[in-house]
Copies of this chain bind each other. A is one copy, B any other.
Amino acid sequence: MSVSLTLSLDAMGGDRAPDMVLKGIRIAHERHPRVRFLMHGNEAALRPVVAKDKTLAEVCEIRHTDSVVSGDEKPSQAVRRGRDSSLWRSIQAVKDGDAAGVVSAGNTGAFMAMAKLALRTLPGIDRPAIAALMPTQRGDCVMLDLGANAECDADNLVQFAIMGEVFGRTVLGLDNPNIGLLNIGTEDQKGTDALRQASAILRDSALPIRFHGFVEGDDIGKGTVDVIVTDGFTGNVALKAIEGTSKLYTSFLRRAFESSILSRLGYLLARPALNKVRMRADPRRYNGAMFLGLNGIAVKSHGGTDPLGFANAVCVAIDLISNGFNDTIRGEFMKVQRASGLNSQDLERAANG
């Protein structure tokens, strides 16, 4: 089932751009031959490479941009000064209706700030969230927010839960995904006021959500729920703590296998199986942090990724678009409001007494 759509790309974002982006497109093209790409970046750098490659020449349209937002630029500064940048123009192409979504491996904060400003949030959503897939003992789960909002109120968390639920159904293909709120215990009285209020709202039967209740940090890896909802501060720390632990274990294992001739031989024999583990937990498989809740799909690739990782981020964007993620979100919020006769602020007030 080959999807046909146009994706906007920031060709200059990421440590090894634009080379990494161009090679990534080649890989993504094999999976999605009918997707076209609007490349925003330095034409002098892009044109010769694209011209030499028949496939790239067929699927890419180059739009020249003069500047690049650097990795260390502050979001506020990028928004003010970066209107001729590859990042801003690639987002603007989505706003203008030239593309259904945008992918960049550039500055995360600037990308989010610009995407919020240009695309605005969907009806019913106060703030967008960053979401990503995480490996668990029971397949993948999705976790949000991973850093867009350092502080969140109950209403934000409830909106994240609804977006996560739609993500579970449309992208992960689950019938009835269950949702957990990340906390420091599973009892009702645990955690902050915002968490307790959000939990009270989510238990309300008017919401079309299977709410599991509170979950703890180790429930992420266990796969206790399909969707983990948290504020952007906690989510960002948890995500990076998990990444750091994966790297720690990889380095422990490497040292173990290199520690004697027997263990080296053991490694050689077990290598095919170990490579499967590596692929299972490969951060490139999970490359693609999604900005959910905007009028347009925006996916952030890791800045240090390689062509395969970038191609995965491109495929995540294609998945979100072709599965109608945003249309489903719009419908879901209309249903919630009809079913309850309330908007989400009213629901929160109701939960507070």
Residues in A lying within 8 Å of B, measured CB to CB:
74, 135-137, 147, 150-151, 182, 184, 187, 189-192, 216-222, 230, 232-234, 236-249, 251-253, 255-257, 259-260, 262-263, 265-274, 276-277, 280-281
What is the minimal beta-carbon distance from A333 to any residue of chain B, in angstroms? Answer: 28
What is the minimal beta-carbon distance from A112 to any residue of chain B, in angstroms? Answer: 13
What is the minimal beta-carbon distance from A71 to any residue of chain B, in angstroms? Answer: 12
Find out whether the CB atom of B241 lies under 8 angstroms from the CB atom of A256.
no
Find out whether the CB atom of B266 lies under 8 angstroms from the CB atom of A150.
no
Q: B residues within 8 A CB of A280?
A: 252
Q: Is the interface of A mostly helix, strand, loop or mixed?
A: helix
Find out whether the CB atom of A270 lies under 8 angstroms from the CB atom of B262.
yes
Find out whether the CB atom of A244 lies under 8 angstroms from the CB atom of B232.
no
Find out whether the CB atom of A248 lies under 8 angstroms from the CB atom of B135.
yes
Q: B residues within 8 A CB of A242?
A: 217, 241-242, 244-245
Find out whether the CB atom of B247 lies under 8 angstroms from the CB atom of A218.
yes
A184-B266 CB under 8 A given contacts A277-B256, A280-B252: no
Q: B residues within 8 A CB of A74?
A: 187, 189
Residue of B nearest to A256 (CB): B273
Q: Which of B137, B241, B252, B267 contacts A270 (CB 8 A)?
A: B267
Find out whether the CB atom of B184 lies under 8 angstroms from the CB atom of A232.
yes
Q: How far is the CA of A184 from the CA of B238 in the complex (A)?
A: 10
Find out whether the CB atom of A244 lies under 8 angstroms from the CB atom of B220.
yes
Q: Which of A74, A233, A276 has the most CB of B within 10 A?
A: A233
What is the minimal beta-carbon distance from A198 to any residue of chain B, in angstroms? Answer: 14
Leading 6 A-B pairs by shortest Cβ distance: A217-B240, A266-B270, A221-B244, A266-B269, A218-B244, A217-B241
